Chain A
């Protein structure tokens, strides 16, 4: 019983620890003061008005969105065929192939960013949208691959065989049978991919410029020199967006992986 109470205390401390910094930023963004204050002094939404009327922030926000959306789309176009090849066929080097495509998950993004800067410099692919895009595709593709692979199961394969048995060719089978089956994994993978791209700093920081910047890098540059409530407002806007995304995932695919089977 004592142990149980101790666990509860540690757990609640842990949850508080996890929520505190984000709550502080959301709170601080509402302050009426000209400096960061928590608890906020008074309540106002004026700092949100400030950032939404700031063209630099709006431009960075659009760049980040466009970048994350493009990277996610390309990642899907690369990961789905790769997942099909790995789950449906035997070929030499299959293990190495999937490990290769999954390895950006454990590789430091900073090292990859540096590598792309150096390599990009030699082929003229630096400090533009395309330079950012190729790096982001590399780091987000594993997320799509990892969520789609487990869905291409044996039962799924039997359904594809049933479809071919009933006279559908490979392409028809993919669109009528395979795609509807992996849709949930594809949506979850795409959301993870989008978010991962949207919040990335370590990779983007090498290829951004004053004119072409992403929201996190913009924030990073800003935070190092000055802090005011408008930065808290930008941060808090991204927190709210993340919360919306998570609730969407919870509603579409469910986040019940901590639930045991018998309750």
Chain B
């Protein structure tokens, strides 16, 4: 390639400059602040304040419990839904409509989507009315302001990601593999567990990682559906940056959120890679 070095430099220069200035440097500033006190003296006090305190640990536990349960529920509903769309639906136009309805939530703001659930989950909302009419409960359930409410909101917001990644993996499977399995005498169940499921496992893993990362860092949904009664890490981070203005403690909270998220994603992808061997 002629003059490839200067061409690469010309192509890469602006993106690299922009991302360094407005992405790398700001994050470095946060990380630096988290390791210093108000006078700029290096300290671990901000982290000690978080990690040596039971309240913070309970917030971390709530955050990650919500993340893990959301991920599991998304897979449990998402896999059958993806299977339905890829393997069962016969009419192209119905599948097309379903795909549009699946993506529509992704194109609307978290606010709008959470607001919809605020309306539905209220004391006199549709969910409580239905439950009461069906005789499943005597008095209206308190759903808003509980972890269950947040969970419903998070599953709702993140379900499309799982359906799309699993559905994509399912659609790519060569049917002759399953036919070969049946031809070799495997029952439909054996074919599913030994052929189909392993081939969709990367899709499940990819979807799970996206869902988990977005669930533990979600701010809007917990803020709206908790009604201030349930606290997650992202809410603590926001408070420090928007009203308390303690960038050192806030930075430490942000870094904690990042590190815990990356650690869990790293462990789970390591486990799935070992499992694939």
Q: Please tell me if the beta carbons of A257 and B168 are within 8 angstroms of each other in the complex.
A: yes
- Please report the C-alpha to C-alpha distance between residue A4 and residue B87 in the assembled complex, in whole angstroms: 10
Distance between A11 CB and nearest chain B CB, rounded to angstroms: 3
Determine if B197 is an interface residue (Cβ-Cβ < 8 Å). no
Determine if A114 is an interface residue (Cβ-Cβ < 8 Å). yes
- Please report the C-alpha to C-alpha distance between residue A19 and residue B97 in the assembled complex, in whole angstroms: 12
Determine if B156 is an interface residue (Cβ-Cβ < 8 Å). yes
Among listed B49-57, B99-107, B135-143, B268-276, interface-contacting one: B99-107
Distance between A258 CB and nearest chain B CB, rounded to angstroms: 4
Q: Please tell me if the beta carbons of A38 and B119 are within 8 angstroms of each other in the complex.
A: yes
Contact A110/B234 with A19-B101, A84-B11, A246-B103 known, Cβ cut-off 8 Å: yes
Q: Please tell me if the beta carbons of B219 and A141 are within 8 angstroms of each other in the complex.
A: no
Among listed A41-49, A50-58, A176-184, A219-227, interface-contacting one: A219-227
Q: Among A18, A22, A201, A257, which residue has its beta carbon within 8 angstroms of that of B111? A: A201
Contact flags (1/0) for B5-19 with A, using CB distance below 8 Å? 101101110111011
Main secondary structure of the interface of A (DSSP, over half): helix
Contacts of A111 in B (CB 8 A): 27, 30, 217, 237, 254, 257-258
- Please report the C-alpha to C-alpha distance between residue A25 and residue B114 in the assembled complex, in whole angstroms: 11
Determine if A243 is an interface residue (Cβ-Cβ < 8 Å). yes
Q: Please tell me if the beta carbons of A239 and B81 are within 8 angstroms of each other in the complex.
A: no
Determine if B247 is an interface residue (Cβ-Cβ < 8 Å). yes
Q: Please tell me if the beta carbons of A115 and B95 are within 8 angstroms of each other in the complex.
A: no
Q: Please tell me if the beta carbons of A220 and B220 are within 8 angstroms of each other in the complex.
A: yes
Interface Cβ pair total, 8 Å cutoff = 278
Number of interface residues of B (CB under 8 A): 92
Nearest CB in chain A to that of B99: its residue: A255
Contacts of B110 in A (CB 8 A): 199, 201, 216
Distance between A35 CB and nearest chain B CB, rounded to angstroms: 11
Contact A227/B118 with A111-B30, A250-B100, A257-B171 known, Cβ cut-off 8 Å: yes
Contact flags (1/0) for B157-170 with A, using CB distance below 8 Å? 00110011001101
Determine if A247 is an interface residue (Cβ-Cβ < 8 Å). yes
Q: Among B5, B101, B224, which residue has its beta carbon within 8 angstroms of that of A223? A: B224
Distance between B66 CB and nearest chain A CB, rounded to angstroms: 14
Number of interface residues of A (CB under 8 A): 89
Contacts of B209 in A (CB 8 A): 106
Contact A216/B109 with A91-B8, A116-B22, A205-B242 known, Cβ cut-off 8 Å: yes
Q: Please tell me if the beta carbons of B30 and A114 are within 8 angstroms of each other in the complex.
A: yes
Q: Please tell me if the beta carbons of B81 and A14 are within 8 angstroms of each other in the complex.
A: yes
Contact flags (1/0) for A114-152 with B, using CB distance below 8 Å? 111111101000000000001101100100000000000
Determine if B113 is an interface residue (Cβ-Cβ < 8 Å). yes
Q: Please tell me if the beta carbons of B219 and A110 are within 8 angstroms of each other in the complex.
A: yes
Determine if B88 is an interface residue (Cβ-Cβ < 8 Å). yes
Contacts of A97 in B (CB 8 A): 12, 16
Distance between B79 CB and nearest chain A CB, rounded to angstroms: 9
Q: Please tell me if the beta carbons of A260 and B11 are within 8 angstroms of each other in the complex.
A: no
Contacts of A238 in B (CB 8 A): 108-109, 112
Determine if B1 is an interface residue (Cβ-Cβ < 8 Å). yes
Q: Please tell me if the beta carbons of B116 and A24 are within 8 angstroms of each other in the complex.
A: yes
Q: Among A85, A108, A113, A205, which residue has its beta carbon within 8 angstroms of that of B12? A: A85
Q: Please tell me if the beta carbons of A11 and B95 are within 8 angstroms of each other in the complex.
A: no
Contact A22/B105 with A85-B12, A89-B8 known, Cβ cut-off 8 Å: yes
User: Which of A21, A119, A224 has the most CB atoms of chain B within a 10 A radius of its CB?
Assistant: A21
Nearest CB in chain B to that of A88: its residue: B1
Distance between B164 CB and nearest chain A CB, rounded to angstroms: 8
Contact A8/B26 with A137-B18, A259-B95 known, Cβ cut-off 8 Å: no
Please give me the 7 A-B residue pairs with the lowest Cβ-Cβ distance, nearest first: A21-B116, A108-B217, A11-B84, A242-B107, A199-B109, A119-B26, A115-B26
- Interface residues of chain A, those whose CB is within 8 Å of chain B, are 4, 6-8, 10-11, 13-15, 17-22, 24-25, 28, 36, 38, 77-79, 81-82, 84-85, 89, 91, 97, 100-101, 104, 106-120, 122, 134-135, 137-138, 141, 170, 195, 198-202, 205-206, 215-216, 219-220, 223-224, 227, 231-232, 235, 238-239, 242-243, 245-247, 250, 255-262
- Interface residues of chain B, those whose CB is within 8 Å of chain A, are 1, 4-5, 7-8, 10-12, 14-16, 18-19, 21-27, 29-30, 33, 77-78, 80-86, 88, 92, 95-96, 98-105, 107-113, 115-120, 125-126, 156, 159-160, 163-164, 167-168, 170-171, 173, 175, 209-210, 213, 217, 219-220, 223-224, 234, 237-238, 240-242, 247, 250-251, 254, 257-258, 261, 265
Known: A14-B78, A115-B29. 20 other contacts (CB 8 A): A6-B80, A7-B84, A11-B81, A21-B105, A21-B120, A22-B113, A38-B126, A91-B4, A108-B254, A110-B234, A115-B26, A117-B241, A170-B7, A224-B224, A227-B115, A227-B119, A232-B115, A246-B100, A260-B171, A260-B175
